[in-house]
Structure 1
Amino acid sequence: MIKNLNETTGYKIRNVSLLLINKINQNFIKKGFDITAEQLKMLVVLWESDGKTQNELGESVGKFKTSVTKIIDGLEKRKLIQRAPHPTDRRANVIYLTEVGKNIKKQLEPIIEHTLSEAHKNISNEKLIVFHEVLNQIEKNLK
């Protein structure tokens, strides 16, 4: 029987995730970037493989269509991405990085690395490897 929900795996994962998202958002703001962690997720997907449909982006980041549209609108407003008509599906758009969106990666990476080093402070590489292995196994178990 669960005595304290605050000590369950799900609670801990969600809490740490929210703290990390808030910290990265704060660190972006401190450095003058008007980008959220949610928008960053989409940028990362596009940095790895530019030219995705909105549905593909949503699947990649685990978001529903309405959320994806809002995030894409924000990225487009910041001139980081552009929509283009899908070549064979009139109902779909393909999302591409602009030059600004491609180049901002170099500016954001040090902020992301700094945020992760803050989060990983006083944790050995060995423990981080085990932690990632455990998270990967939990993810596999739940799929």
Structure 2
Amino acid sequence: MKLRGIKAFPGMEDSILPWMGKTMKELDLFVSAALSQQGVNLTRKQMICMKILEEHGPLPQSELAFLTDRDKTSLTRLINSMEKKNVVARIPSETDKRVNLVHLTTSGRKLLAKTAPIMVKMVKKLESSITKEDREAFKRVLKQIHQNIESQSK
């Protein structure tokens, strides 16, 4: 099977990396559509950001950028869009007025709670035809790629 619309660089015809990128783009669209069908107006990236805030509590934008692997500019755009939806808010830090803490609003917590069963159902559906052994092998490969990236980044 070939990737639609993409021709691999010479020597990369058997690489899994283009498939990873294409799959993540398709997953973004699939998640947004699945959530939208249930009346949840969130993207996968917004949901991840909200989940991190739920787990860690209010965070400085710089730390949230680090935890979400986003640059400060794209995180600012993401937070702006989430503020318009009233799911997060920025509050000045009590210890450093130059720092804004991002926190989940009450409506953000409610919306995030609503997404959990939708996401569980969606993941089960997407992975239903994949054996446990194949999932474990795939995770091992992804972890190895991650380790390779980390070792090359040093």
Instruction: State TM-score, norm by structure 2.
Output: 0.84
Identical columns (%)? 25
Deviation at 1:130, TM superposition (A): 2.0
Q: Of the candidates 41, 45, 48, which is equivalent to residue 34 of structure 1? A: 41
Structure 1 residue aligned with 2:133: 126
Letter paired with 2:87: L
Tell me, yes or no, if the aligned pair for 2:40 and 2:111 is still in contact at 8 Å: no
3-state SS of 2:103 partner: strand
Q: Of the candidates 55, 58, 76, which is equivalent to residue 83 of structure 2? A: 76
Tell me, yes or no, if the aligned pair for 2:86 and 2:107 is still in contact at 8 Å: yes
Q: Which has the higher helix share?
A: 1
Provide the rounded CA distance (Å) in 2 between the counterparts of 1:27 and 1:19: 12
Tell me, yes or no, if the aligned pair for 1:25 and 1:37 is still in contact at 8 Å: yes
RMSD, aligned α-carbons:
1.5
Provide the rounded CA distance (Å) in 2 between the counterparts of 1:48 and 1:33: 20
Structure 1 residue aligned with 2:3: none
Instruction: State the number of aligned residues.
Output: 141
Instruction: State TM-score, norm by structure 1.
Output: 0.90
Residue pairs, 1:63-142, within 5 angstroms? 63-142=70-149
Gaps of 5+ in 1: none
